[in-house]
Amino acid sequence: MHPRSLLRTVARTEAITWALLLLGMFLKYVTETTELGVRVFGMLHGVVFIAYCLTVVVVAIDARWRPGQALLGLVCAVPPFATLWFEKYADARGLGADAWRLRRSDPSRGLDRPVAWLVRNPLAGLGTGLVAVGVLTAVALAVGPPAG
């Protein structure tokens, strides 16, 4: 999967999980029928949120985004559905390439090296990404839910 399609897929999935979480919140707080939706969809959204953030970081490093562009991509994970806007913004500016730069170019910067390994070893990269999402999710669960 090339960077543009990966970013698109994860951004859209993040937006879908936002919609599911908002539905769960509606059921819990408005209809007061069940909080199961918040539990299930909240966890699912949290996992996909982390996957989206990791995807933005990997694509940003590979495509050599400016720091502000990467930060904008990360911030867009917070408001509902903003990842959809960012995916279109990134696509319109050519931020998501059709090929991984580091698959064919030598890593020249510090963070290029691990990203080059990820994109040159797709199955191991996928496994590493899944482990990273799992570890970060476990850390988030240990820290506890957001205050509010």
Output the CA–CA distances (angstroms, integers) from residue 12 to 49, 56, 83, in the order listed: 11, 13, 7
**Separation CA 103–CA 118 (nearest Å):** 9
Q: How confident is the model at residue 144 (pLDDT cuts 50, 70, 90)?
A: confident
Higher pLDDT, 146 or 63: 63
Could you tell me the residue ranges of all domains in the chain? 3-143
Mean pLDDT computed over every residue of the chain: 93
Q: In sequence order, which residues have a C-beta less than 8 Å from that of residue 129 and are 6 or more positions away?
A: 51, 54, 118
**pLDDT higher than threshold 70 for residue 146:** no
Q: In sequence order, which residues have a C-beta less than 8 Å from that of residue 61 and are 6 or more positions away?
A: 102, 111, 112, 115
pLDDT of 101: 94
| Tens of pLDDT, residues 51-98 | 999 999 999 999 999 999 999 999 999 999 999 999 999 999 989 889
**pLDDT higher than threshold 60 for residue 148:** no
**Separation CA 148–CA 146 (nearest Å):** 6
**Separation CA 148–CA 134 (nearest Å):** 24
